[in-house]
Amino acid sequence: QVQLRQSGPGLVKPSQTLSLTCGISGDSVSSNSAVWNWIRQSPSRGLEWLGRTYYRSKWSGNYAVSVKSRIIINPDTSKNQFSLQLDSVTPEDTAVYFCARGDQYFDYWGQGTLVTVSS
Partner 1 sequence: QSVLTQPPSVSAAPGQKVTISCSGSSTNIGKNYVSWYQHVPGTVPKLLIYDNNKRPSGIPDRFSGSKSGRSATLGIAGLQTGDEADYYCGTWESSLSVVVFGGGTKLTVL
User: What is the binding site for partner 1 (CB under 8 A)?
Assistant: 37, 41, 43, 46-49, 52, 62-65, 98, 104-107, 109-112
Whole-number Cα distances in Å, 62 to 36, 70, 102: 10, 13, 13
Of 8, 73, 6, which is closest to residue 35 (Cα–Cα)?
A: 73
Query: Rounded to the nearest whole angstrom, what is the least distance from the CB of residue 103 to partner 1 in the complex?
Result: 8
Total number of residues shown for the chain:
119
Instruction: Choose between 33 and 111: whose C-beta lies nearer to partner 1.
Output: 111
- 3-state DSSP call for residue 92? helix
Instruction: Choose between 57 and 104: whose C-beta lies nearer to partner 1.
Output: 104
Alpha-carbon distance of 114 to 119, in angstroms, equals: 16
Query: Rounded to the nearest whole angstrom, what is the least distance from the CB of residue 12 to partner 1 in the complex?
Result: 21
Instruction: Choose between 74 and 109: whose C-beta lies nearer to partner 1.
Output: 109
Query: Rounded to the nearest whole angstrom, what is the least distance from the CB of residue 20 to partner 1 in the complex?
Result: 15
